[in-house]
Amino acid sequence: MTRLIAGTDWVTRVGPPFLPYGVVFVVGHPEENPYPPCVASMMNFLQLAGVDDAGIEMIAWRNLAGLLRIEP
């Protein structure tokens, strides 16, 4: 889990207003998304995949902080 970070490259394909983090690519409006587009959903997907809380924290911010040498 030391080489994964959260990110996206689709944020500006629709908008403004821009779509929330976690929207499926083919979706044009948040209410059309098959799940609530929010951080809690992204965390739930990781948990369903077997990632523990420490791993989720690594993916969410600790890995990037280490890469950028930013002290929390």
Q: List per-residue pLDDT tens for the chain, 72 residues long.
A: 788 888 766 666 777 888 888 888 888 888 999 999 888 999 999 999 999 999 999 999 999 999 999 987
In a domain, 61, yes or no: yes
pLDDT reported for residue 12: 66
- C-alpha 61/C-alpha 42 separation (Å) is 13
Domain hosting 47: range is 37-67
Is the model's pTM score more than 0.85? Answer: no
In a domain, 45, yes or no: yes
In a domain, 43, yes or no: yes
In a domain, 7, yes or no: no
In a domain, 58, yes or no: yes
Q: pLDDT by residue (tens digit) across 6-25?
A: 876 666 677 788 888 888 88
Number of structural domains the chain divides into: 1
- C-alpha 14/C-alpha 33 separation (Å) is 14
